[in-house]
């Protein structure tokens, strides 16, 4: 019965993910085409030569540049991104002398056999809060997670990260990051226009002080400054709209893949209850913020959002629009449905971290009991 339900749910989620991805691509190119049209229109208003170029050439060049930028960003990120991210996080390899680490490494090997794939590289993040993430063939769990969850719960969390590896959503997230970078260029131009001054012949004229400056002869013509003012306004409106739309659609994509990874975890472990219990434990740790400042692209990689937000557990339309992760309780309810278990099943019969028994500590490079 569980296999039939899993197949049906996964097929439905795969279809919904495909629709959302198609929407994201449409929004991305739509916004870039709109930017090209705005620039061409502004050039036409002020009689610039570029406005005479066919709109189809403008759109064609925009399309080529958009695809090329994302492709180059993807190749660079795929080659260097994982290494830089892991270095930034400060992860370490599992210690064979640590019983918890050995258990974690064994789970990775076992799940790789079950999934029929090459074992991902296992890492441990030396942090006390409980969380996990996967990055292009690398799986990372925190010290707090690996040392406090039971073996079944840890296996369920690792299986969830295997789900991300199997469905390959990290590649899509890398592409989304490239899209966001390109769409963020107009916002960068706005910052430059606000922070810098117009320089000509060694003299300085501020955009917002043109009416009061005594150096009006530094400006070639009023039309040129009018173009800058309109361009500034157009970029301001465009940046706000692009950031809002892409943020909403990319968040929807991220939430869909979290649900899909949960389903893959159930397929690998046949133990939805342990994943529900693990999510319940990890969810309680969200009051502990992750070390450092995490950008949205990194937060999307975790099993639960490490950056505390009031929208994390908001199941209203507002939370669904802007949160990168589904509400933890919504995920737990779905998992309990598969497990045919009540909410009270989240209460463990054994204390957290009761397997294996023991306390491991390192003193002067030597492991002591």
Statement: residue 362 has pLDDT above 60: no
pLDDT tens digits for range 116-155: 999 999 999 998 889 999 888 899 999 999 999 999 999 9
* pLDDT value, residue 46: 66
How far apart are the C-alpha atoms of 178 and 24, rounded to whole Å?
13
How far apart are the C-alpha atoms of 338 and 57, rounded to whole Å?
53
Statement: residue 343 has pLDDT above 60: yes
Handedness of CA 336, 342, 343, 345 (dihedral sign): negative
CA of residue 168 relative to chain centroid, distance: 13
pLDDT tens digits for range 225-260: 666 666 677 777 777 777 777 778 778 878 888 888
pLDDT tens digits for range 282-316: 887 765 554 544 555 577 778 887 766 666 666 66
* pLDDT value, residue 227: 62
pLDDT tens digits for range 68-91: 888 887 787 777 777 888 888 889
pTM for the model: 0.73
pLDDT tens digits for range 52-67: 778 888 888 888 888 8
> Which has more confidence, 326 or 172?
326
Number of Cβ within 10 Å of residue 109's Cβ equals 11
CA distances 345 to 1, 78, 235, 268, 340, Å, are 20, 41, 53, 21, 10
Query: What 3-state class would DSSP assign to 96?
Result: coil
pLDDT band (50, 70, 90) for residue 220: very low
Number of Cβ within 10 Å of residue 287's Cβ equals 8
Q: Residue range 147-167: average pLDDT?
A: 93
């Amino acid at each position: 019965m569980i296999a039939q339900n899993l197949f049906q749910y996964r097929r439905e989620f795969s279809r919904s993910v495909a629709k959302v991805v198609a929407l994201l691509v449409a929004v991305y190119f739509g916004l870039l085409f709109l930017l090209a049209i705005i620039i061409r229109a502004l050039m036409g208003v002020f009689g610039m030569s570029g406005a005479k170029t066919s709109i189809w050439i403008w759109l064609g060049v925009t399309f080529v540049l958009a695809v090329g930028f994302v492709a180059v960003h993807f190749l660079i990120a795929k080659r260097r991104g994982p290494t830089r991210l892991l270095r930034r996080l400060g992860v370490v390899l599992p210690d064979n002398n640590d019983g918890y680490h050995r258990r974690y490494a064994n789970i990775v090997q076992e799940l790789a056999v079950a999934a029929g794939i090459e074992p991902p590289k296992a890492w441990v993040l030396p942090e006390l809060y409980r969380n996990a993430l996967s990055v292009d063939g690398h799986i990372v769990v925190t010290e707090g997670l690996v040392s406090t969850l039971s073996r079944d719960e840890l296996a369920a969390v690792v299986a969830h990260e295997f789900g991300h590896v199997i469905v390959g959503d990290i590649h899509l997230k890398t592409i989304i990051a490239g899209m966001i970078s390109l769409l963020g260029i107009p916002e960068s131009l706005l910052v430059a226009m606000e922070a810098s001054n117009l320089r000509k012949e060694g003299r300085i004229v501020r955009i917002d002080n043109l009416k009061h400056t005594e150096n009006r002869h530094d400006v070639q013509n009023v039309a040129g400054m009018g173009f800058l003012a309109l361009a500034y306004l157009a970029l301001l409106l465009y940046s706000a709209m692009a950031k809002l739309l892409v943020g909403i659609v990319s968040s929807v994509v991220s939430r869909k893949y979290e649900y899909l990874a949960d389903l893959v975890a159930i397929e690998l472990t046949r133990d939805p209850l342990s994943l529900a219990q693990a999510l319940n434990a990890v969810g309680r740790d969200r009051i502990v913020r992750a070390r450092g400042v995490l950008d949205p692209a990194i937060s999307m990689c975790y099993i639960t959002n490490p950056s505390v937000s009031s929208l994390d557990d908001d199941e209203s339309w507002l939370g669904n629009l802007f949160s990168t992760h589904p509400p933890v309780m919504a995920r737990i309810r779905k998992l309990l449905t598969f497990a045919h278990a009540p909410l009270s099943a989240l209460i463990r019969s054994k204390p957290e971290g009761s397997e294996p028994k023991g306390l491991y500590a390192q003193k002067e490079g030597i492991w002591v009991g």
